[in-house]
């Protein structure tokens, strides 16, 4: 119960303790801590929650360890398609983009949609036209190429199978990234960014850019960023459901978040987790998988965890 507060995640899933090497674990902890430290410093220097989650996710997008931005997985066509969303809890404004290619930091484009258009959600080539108009930083396809990602794609290429980037018996784990924060004024915000599923086809879009499914923020309740098998989070409108359980059932943030992840999502057969912060600065980070890359920081404590 301390303001300001920030939490971040880097994906959830089958993250085996026995397979993950110590030096790999250290890289993840370092990357998560960098996002937390930078974000908390911003909050301490009177940045808004919205500015903070934008920058924290941008840091994680620039790290190839995670399935977002530079670390995005390969589609069935051998390309990189990215989605992102952001929402602030004061006016409940939001911006989202999906199916974009070449934009270095998708979260910045989602933020621009929120700030510079009357829309919430842009997609595909038209979203890229808007990105060019906003002078977004574009990178060639080679920027997003990664040998480990390529090998992952080769395992399922031409099979018709899609693969969550954090599933399987590999010590290289990646994940959707997200951040939630509450600033000194009690305003909350959430941001989420992803490269989707390996070998995805037909322009598949997951929960990350969908307001209410993978990303949500409301000053009266909480801010939420989800990670996992997106179809189940979409079907259960998971992020908004956490807020609803707090608002209409009077549940605490922890209880509401646990019910969504360990009951609602699990009952549907889904796997994943979420991070959330409420109007008092409380943090919840439940997951129903073997692990979830996550961390939080406020004036009283700071930590990063995997299992």
Please pick, among 5, 48, 52, 176, the residue that the annotation labels catalytic: 176
Q: Which of 225, 298, 200, 282 is closest to 12 using CA atoms?
A: 225
Q: Please indicate whether residue 221 is annotated as part of the active site.
A: no
Planar angle of CA 144, 270, 57, nearest 5 degrees: 35
Determine contact, residues 117/97, Cβ cutoff 8 Å.
Answer: no
Tokens encoding 90: 């004061």
Strand partners, 63: none
Please give the Cα distance from 10 to 87 (Å, whole number).
18
Using only the alpha carbons of the chain, give its radius of gyration: 17
Check residue 136 and report its DSSP letter: P
Q: What are phi and psi of 189, to 5 degrees?
A: -155, 155
Residue whose tokens read 């051998």: 78
Task: List, by residue number, the catalytic residues.
Answer: 176
């Amino acid at each position: 119960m301390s303001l300001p507060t920030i939490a971040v995640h880097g994906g959830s899933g089958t993250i085996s303790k026995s397979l993950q090497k110590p030096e790999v674990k250290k890289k993840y902890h370092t990357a998560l801590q960098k996002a937390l430290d930078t974000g908390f410093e911003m909050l301490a220097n009177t940045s808004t929650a919205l500015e903070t989650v934008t920058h924290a996710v941008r840091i994680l997008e620039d790290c190839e360890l995670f399935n977002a931005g530079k670390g995005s997985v390969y589609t069935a066509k051998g390309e990189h398609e990215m989605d992102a969303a952001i929402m602030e809890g004061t006016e409940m404004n939001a911006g989202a983009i999906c199916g974009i290619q070449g934009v270095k930091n998708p979260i910045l484009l989602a933020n621009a949609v929120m700030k510079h258009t009357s829309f919430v959600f842009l997609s595909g080539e038209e979203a890229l036209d808007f990105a060019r108009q906003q002078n977004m930083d574009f990178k060639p396809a080679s920027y997003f190429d990664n040998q480990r990602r390529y090998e992952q794609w080769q395992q399922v290429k031409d099979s018709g199978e899609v693969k969550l980037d954090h599933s399987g018996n590999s010590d290289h784990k990646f994940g959707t990234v997200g951040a939630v924060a509450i600033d000194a004024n009690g305003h909350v915000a959430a941001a989420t960014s992803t490269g989707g599923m390996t070998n995805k086809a037909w322009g598949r879009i997951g929960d990350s850019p969908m307001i209410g499914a993978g990303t949500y923020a409301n000053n009266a309740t909480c801010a939420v960023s989800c990670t996992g098998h997106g179809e189940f989070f979409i079907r259960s409108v998971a992020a908004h459901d956490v807020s609803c359980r707090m608002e209409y059932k009077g549940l605490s943030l922890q209880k509401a978040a646990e019910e969504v992840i360990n009951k609602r999502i699990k009952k549907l057969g889904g796997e994943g987790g979420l991070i959330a912060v409420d109007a008092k600065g409380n943090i919840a980070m439940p997951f129903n998988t073997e692990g979830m890359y996550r961390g939080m920081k406020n004036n009283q404590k700071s930590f990063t965890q995997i299992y």
